């Protein structure tokens, strides 16, 4: 049996449907969520039971917790 992974989902408006899918996956140990809209982040987190919440990608990356990041923000926000 392999190691379970920890995944952070970045962007709830465009990709929010992925986070609950990851929660149910047998090979996923933990899922964190991230969105710059704090109201959406907290409403979504409360609705689906996510404890780990972040308002920036930097917070997610600096946490050192995650094995993978699923970037599901709109395409125009992928480059700066």
HEC letters along 35-76: CCCHHHHHHHHHHHCCCCEECCHHHHHHHCCCCEEEECCCHH
What integer pLDDT is reported at residue 79 of this predicted model? 61
For the chain, which residues make up each domain, given as ranges? Answer: 5-77
- Enter the pTM of the model: 0.88
CATH number, span 5-77 = 3.40.50.720
pLDDT, tens digit only, all 80 positions of the chain: 589 999 999 999 877 899 999 999 999 999 999 999 999 999 999 999 999 999 999 999 999 999 999 999 777 766 65
What integer pLDDT is reported at residue 16 of this predicted model? 85
């Amino acid at each position: 049996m392999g190691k379970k992974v920890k995944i952070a989902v970045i962007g709830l408006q465009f990709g929010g449907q992925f986070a609950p899918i990851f929660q149910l996956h047998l090979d996923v140990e933990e899922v964190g969520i991230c969105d710059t809209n704090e109201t959406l982040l907290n409403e979504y987190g409360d609705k689906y039971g996510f404890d780990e919440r972040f308002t920036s990608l930097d917070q997610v990356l600096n946490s050192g917790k995650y094995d993978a990041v699923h970037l599901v923000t709109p395409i125009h926000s992928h480059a700066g």
